[in-house]
Chains A and B, each alone.
Chain A
Amino acid sequence: MASQPNLITKKKRKLQIAPYLFVLPNLLIFTVFIVVPTLLGVIYSFHNYDGLNPMKFSGFDNYAYIFTDDKFWSTLGKTLTYAIIVVPLIYACSLGVAILLVQQVIMKGFFRAIFYWPTMISFIIVGLTWRWIFGELGIINAVMVAFDYEQITFLANPFFAKVAVIIAAVWSRLGFFMVLFVAGLLAIPKDFYEAAHLDGASKVKAFFHITLPLLKPTTLLVVMLSMIEAFKAYPLMFALTGGGPNKATTYIVQYIYETGFAKQELGLASAMSVVLFIIITIFTVLQFKLTKGGEN
């Protein structure tokens, strides 16, 4: 019994070290590959740096240049337009399908699987798939010709290329957000609808006065996630349109990638990244504030 206190302190010491050891491997990788690059990125953004020669401190030059860079603002504008179209579309479609799927339908699992499956496929294959469909010899042109319209080279037309990108994006992301909405819809108590029904409220009224308000937390999540995704869009466009025609579908991440890796302007590209990050953060915070954190 004499050794008991000693044993306790020994055990206590072990308990104090253990959590650090457990968290260490993850923390180490996390620090090296996320924290350090983030700090480096900020440092680069204040330097003139091509990746080979030594960095030269340039103050706010990169940021000043960005302000005058028309291409930066036009790709950013295109990205914003894309987000403004694609976010509500994804929202409406995934909510619509989720509502259909919480009804009493047979083969629910089968339908869910069909909608969820594209979410599992990489953006590269999604892009290729739709490129094949929209191509000159693709199925959409075949339908057009069958109805006596002329063949269109969709992906060579700036407008149609943008439409194609949006269709592919909605197709590939619907399943993911649908699942979130299904969970949100199932969490709404059934009594609410019964009470509304007894009060003589129509289904449409019930949707706008019960479903939508109670879905606020899910809505916030869906809008925030799909918006951030829209700002980061690149691999899909890479595979579907290559950013063309005539840069019509070149969005901000592709522009940063090209500036950094093709033009070797690492400092400038890093400054662009910082600006992009600030913009994403502003939009996220704004969204969060506007919906009061998604609380009911």
Chain B
Amino acid sequence: MTPSKFQKTLTYVLLIAFSALWLFPVLWIFLSSFKNNTELYQFPPTFLPQQFTLEHFVNAFEKGNFGKYFLNSAIVAITSTILLLLINSMAGYALAKYKFKGGTFILLAFISTLMIPLEVIMIPIFKVLSFLGLYNTLLALIIPPAATPTGVFMLRQYLLTIPNELLEAARIDGAGEWKIYWRIILPLCQPILAALAIFSFMWRWDDFLWPLIAISDPSKYTVQLALSNFIGEFNVDWGSLLAMSVITMIPVLIVFLIFQKHLVNSMATSGMK
């Protein structure tokens, strides 16, 4: 069954047209961020920057305090990801490899909360954060989101495929339970942990609603909160906004470029975000 020439041409035409549509918005933001203000507000707009300038980027960091927000986001995304990998893999290991009372119940409880969107419990979450004294701290952005049901479930499913004999052999050799987890389970989980690390980084970096609930002090803003705050202002400073958007996309772009294949493959097999 060889596809006809017409069909092949049509496939390419559609693909190129579609992908141009998908590429254009980001490209447009990127190019616009290098235009000076006169050019930025000129109509009709130019496509390429006529006078390439970095002033918006400089402004974002000098006047917009963007370096601080960037650092906050980096701290949150990195530490929360490490915590997530640790506690999710521990839980996933317990739920996959031990038979214990309440295990099934805990698993079902985890999975069923996938159905409860954060949006639905945002008000009481705010009260819990206040009660624990976590409101307005970066810890509020690091600890609570680290116990994701998705991560536990992905790891559990992955660990089910690892033969029990391996663990039994280690036990006979006298290895303790923690040692088995640390020395055998974690190294074996590397591929799934890598995929989860990317997701987690992206979730935390892109998060808006959770920081919006948990943070009100501007010095603790993440990049997304800083951006949203800029939008809220009456006179939108598009130059800084575009520059900040471009900077904010860079870490995700780097993660994406490095792990692209890995990510798309793991997505395709696990079917989760």
Contact = CB atoms under 8 A, between A and B. Distances in A.
A60 interface: no
B93, B113, B181, B206 interface centre (most CB from chain A within 10 Å): B206
Contact of B15 (A14, A36, A100, A253): A100
B interface majority secondary structure? helix
Nearest to A29: B147
A37 B125 contact: yes
Contacts, number: 261
A132 B22 CA distance: 15
Q: Chain A interface: which size bin?
A: 35 or more
Interface in A19-63: 19-20, 22-23, 25-27, 29-30, 32-38, 40-41, 44, 51
B26 A118 contact: yes
Contact of B238 (A97, A132, A180): A132
A109 interface: yes
A6 B8 CA distance: 73
B26, B42, B86, B238 interface centre (most CB from chain A within 10 Å): B26
B123 A239 contact: no
Interface of B: 1, 3, 8, 11-12, 14-15, 18-19, 21-23, 25-26, 28-29, 32, 41-45, 86-88, 90-91, 93-95, 98, 100, 103, 106, 109-110, 113, 115-117, 119-128, 132, 143-144, 146-147, 149, 152, 171, 176-178, 181, 202, 205-209, 224, 227-228, 231-232, 238, 241-242, 245, 248-249, 252-253, 255-256, 260-261, 263-264, 267-269, 271, 273
Interface of A: 11, 14-16, 18-20, 22-23, 25-27, 29-30, 32-38, 40-41, 44, 51, 96-97, 100-101, 103-105, 109, 111-118, 120-125, 127-130, 132-133, 137-139, 141-142, 145-146, 171, 174-176, 179-180, 182-183, 186, 193-194, 197, 221, 225, 228, 231-232, 234-235, 238-239, 242, 253, 256-257, 260-261, 266, 269-270, 273-274, 276-277, 280-281, 284
14 contacts: A15-B98, A22-B91, A36-B124, A41-B123, A100-B14, A100-B18, A116-B264, A118-B22, A120-B206, A121-B252, A130-B25, A179-B268, A257-B122, A270-B124
